[in-house]
Amino acid sequence: MTRLILRRLALLVPTLLGLSVLLFLWVRALPGGPATALLGERATPEAVARVNELYGFDKPLIQQYVTWLGQLLQGNFGVSTRTGRPVLEEFTNRFPATIELTVVALIVAVGVAIPLGYVAARRQGRPLDHLTVVASLVGVTIPVFFLAFLLKWAFAVNLGWFPSTGRQDPTMIATHPTGFYVLDGILTREWDASWDALMHLVLPAIALGSIPLAIIARITRSSVIEVQDADYVRTARAKGLGPDRLRRRVILRNAMLPVATTIGLQVGLLLSGAVLTETVFAFPGIGSFLANAIFNLDYAVLQGFILIIAVVYALVNLVVDVSYGFIDPRTRATR
């Protein structure tokens, strides 16, 4: 097991190195440049040249890359051309918000999808099953930003059940020791702050979780359908196993392997979906910041953020791979 983890971590090094090259070239292939974005269309060539010189954009590409990589290895991700603050600081300020949103979205998705998929499978061919299949198809097809707008319009603007933007009521005075607002409220016993933060998360989390929910529900359904006809399920019933244990230990446990794989892959979808959702709900996470960085061609932010997101994504999938061993003993690497 340890060996598997070490090997995967070692493999991460060339992967990230390759990604860093691609990223570096990709942001520079975008039309325009950071200086123009910063100074506007009508900036004088001298001003542009000064900005370029300031940030080192006048140097040859190779030299820029090597400098950037060298700084990166020392933990220096550079400075945002838009805000003037270090990229890492911008990231750590905003990442808790995105984690909070992603985790809640994932909880919503997994919490609804697995029971839904299971129930649909057990009632295969009956109305509830058909409804689930159709609903999950709709869930996959609806664009995230459209659903986000729809939810915001219906439940925030018209009905007023949930706040429409932000992470917390701006008039609320709350302390934030960790940056995870829901958690902060619990830690400081400011329950109303915690509740308010949670209410702010509901609509974005549903919007963000909809596609993963639909996908996970479908995978769960087909996996359970396959497993429930397995010989060992019949044998488990024949030995007199109660319905509860049959469901949890035999059917669900065996059906979880493809589901775990899917959940791991959804994390990537969630992080990219966060860009759109956070923008719609003006949610101050890395997604909306990244969207702004794209408009402003903020090279350092684009490179740094995407690289860190890639690391997070790889680590999450490593965790998923390790979890296979817990779900399925046959895949354990070492014995």
Residues in contact with other proteins by the rule CB under 8 A: 3, 7, 230-232, 234-243, 245, 249-250, 253-254, 327-330, 334-335
Pick between residue 159 and residue 238 the one whose CB is nearest to other proteins: 238
Pick between residue 311 and residue 333 the one whose CB is nearest to other proteins: 333
In the complex, the smallest distance separating the C-beta of residue 239 from other proteins, rounded to whole angstroms, is 4
* Integer-rounded Cα radius of gyration of the chain: 24
In the complex, the smallest distance separating the C-beta of residue 330 from other proteins, rounded to whole angstroms, is 5
In the complex, the smallest distance separating the C-beta of residue 121 from other proteins, rounded to whole angstroms, is 12
Pick between residue 177 and residue 240 the one whose CB is nearest to other proteins: 240
In the complex, the smallest distance separating the C-beta of residue 235 from other proteins, rounded to whole angstroms, is 4
Backbone angles phi, psi at 79, to 5 degrees: -120, 140
Which residue, among 276, 283, 280, 291, has the nearest Cα to 157 in the 3D structure?
A: 280
Pick between residue 37 and residue 114 the one whose CB is nearest to other proteins: 114
* Helix (H) or strand (E) run with residue 321 in it: helix 299-327
* Residue 110 Cα distances to 86, 127, 250, 266, angstroms: 36, 22, 19, 11
Residue 31, phi-psi category: left (phi > 0), alpha (psi -120 to 50), beta (remainder) = beta
Pick between residue 130 and residue 237 the one whose CB is nearest to other proteins: 237
How far is residue 35's CA from residue 47's CA, in Å, rounded to a whole number? 8
In the complex, the smallest distance separating the C-beta of residue 249 from other proteins, rounded to whole angstroms, is 6
In the complex, the smallest distance separating the C-beta of residue 130 from other proteins, rounded to whole angstroms, is 17
The per-type count for the chain, helices as H runs and strands as E runs, is: 14, 0
How far is residue 299's CA from residue 20's CA, in Å, rounded to a whole number? 12
Q: DSSP of 194-254, one letter per residue?
A: HHHHHHHHHHHHHHHHHHHHHHHHHHHHHHHHHHHTSHHHHHHHHTT--HHHIIIIIIIHH
Q: Which are the contacts of 168, defined by CB distance < 8 A and separation ≥ 6? A: 174, 181, 193, 196, 197, 200
Partners of 80 in the β-ladder: none
Pick between residue 85 and residue 248 the one whose CB is nearest to other proteins: 248
Pick between residue 75 and residue 243 the one whose CB is nearest to other proteins: 243
Pick between residue 119 and residue 311 the one whose CB is nearest to other proteins: 119
Name residue 209's amino acid.
Answer: G
